[in-house]
Structure 1
Amino acid sequence: NPLSLLSPLQRKKRISQWQDLQSIQSKLIQLQRRKENCGIGAFERELHARMRVLRRLGHCSEDGVIKRKGRLACEIESVDELVATELLLEGVANAMSPAQLVAFLTCLYPAEGRKRHVENPPSDAVLGPAWKRLLEAASRVAQVQRECGIELDEKDFVEQFSCSLVDVTLAWCQGQKFQDVMKMTNMFEGSLIRVLRRHDEFLDQLHTAARSIGDEVLSKKFNEGRKILKRGIVFASSLYL
Structure 2
Amino acid sequence: MNLLRDRVRIERQVARLRYTLSVEALQLNEEYQKRIEVLKALDFVDSTGMVTFKGRVACEIHHQELLITELILSKKLHEKSPAEVAAMFSATTCQYKGGDGPKFEKDSIFEQLRADVQQTNDWIEGRAALVKARIADVGDELRYDLMEVVYHWASGMPFAEIMAMTDAQEGLIVRCIQRLGEVCKDVRCVGSLQSLFRKIEKTMPVTAICTIRMNK
Where on the TM-score scale, by shorter chain, does this alignment land: which range?
A: 0.7 to 0.9
- Using the size of structure 1 for normalisation, the TM-score is 0.69
> Residue in 2 aligned with 1:19?
none
The one-letter code sitting in structure 2 at the alignment partner of 1:205 is D
Query: Which 5+ residue runs of structure 1 have no aligned equivalent?
Result: 1-39
The one-letter code sitting in structure 2 at the alignment partner of 1:91 is K
Q: Is the 8 A contact 1:115 1:164 kept in 2?
A: yes
Q: 1:151 to 1:202 in 2, by over 3 A?
A: closer
The one-letter code sitting in structure 2 at the alignment partner of 1:134 is V
> Residue in 2 aligned with 1:235?
212
Residue 176 of structure 1 pairs with residue 176 of structure 2? no
The alpha carbon displacement at 1:146 in A equals: 2.7
Query: Which 5+ residue runs of structure 2 have no aligned equivalent?
Result: 1-24
Identity of aligned residues (%): 21
The match for 1:95 among 72, 79, 92 is 79
> Residue in 2 aligned with 1:200?
181
Q: 1:193 to 1:133 in 2, by over 3 A?
A: closer
Q: What per-residue deviation string (whole Å, max 9, x for no partner) do you get for residues 130-165 of structure 1?
A: 311221221221122232232468xx9646412111
The one-letter code sitting in structure 2 at the alignment partner of 1:227 is P
Q: Distance in 2 between matches of 1:117 and 1:67?
A: 39
> Residue in 1 aligned with 2:67?
83
Q: Distance in 2 between matches of 1:88 and 1:184?
A: 30
Q: Distance in 2 between matches of 1:175 and 1:133?
A: 23
Q: Distance in 2 between matches of 1:182 and 1:171?
A: 11
- Using the size of structure 2 for normalisation, the TM-score is 0.76
Q: Distance in 1 between matches of 2:170 and 2:35?
A: 39
> Residue in 1 aligned with 2:5?
none
Q: 1:87 to 1:139 in 2, by over 3 A?
A: same
The match for 2:145 among 130, 143, 164 is 164
Residue 55 of structure 1 pairs with residue 40 of structure 2? yes
The one-letter code sitting in structure 2 at the alignment partner of 1:235 is I
Runs of 4+ displaced beyond 6 Å: none
Q: Distance in 1 between matches of 2:30 and 2:42?
A: 18
Q: Is the 8 A contact 1:54 1:60 kept in 2?
A: yes
> Residue in 2 aligned with 1:128?
111
Q: 1:140 to 1:205 in 2, by over 3 A?
A: same
Q: Distance in 2 between matches of 1:124 and 1:195?
A: 25
Q: 1:123 to 1:188 in 2, by over 3 A?
A: farther
Report how many residues are paired: 192
Q: 1:48 to 1:42 in 2, by over 3 A?
A: closer
Q: Is the 8 A contact 1:60 1:67 kept in 2?
A: yes
Q: Is the 8 A contact 1:59 1:70 kept in 2?
A: yes
Q: Is the 8 A contact 2:67 2:120 kept in 1?
A: yes
Q: Secondary structure in 2 aligned to 1:93?
A: coil
RMSD, matched Cα: 2.8
Q: What per-residue deviation string (whole Å, max 9, x for no partner) do you get for residues 21-68 of structure 1?
A: xxxxxxxxxxxxxxxxxxx58962111111111111111111112111
Q: 1:173 to 1:183 in 2, by over 3 A?
A: same
Q: Distance in 1 between matches of 2:198 and 2:117?
A: 22
> Residue in 2 aligned with 1:143?
126
Q: Is the 8 A contact 1:117 1:161 kept in 2?
A: no
> Residue in 2 aligned with 1:104?
88
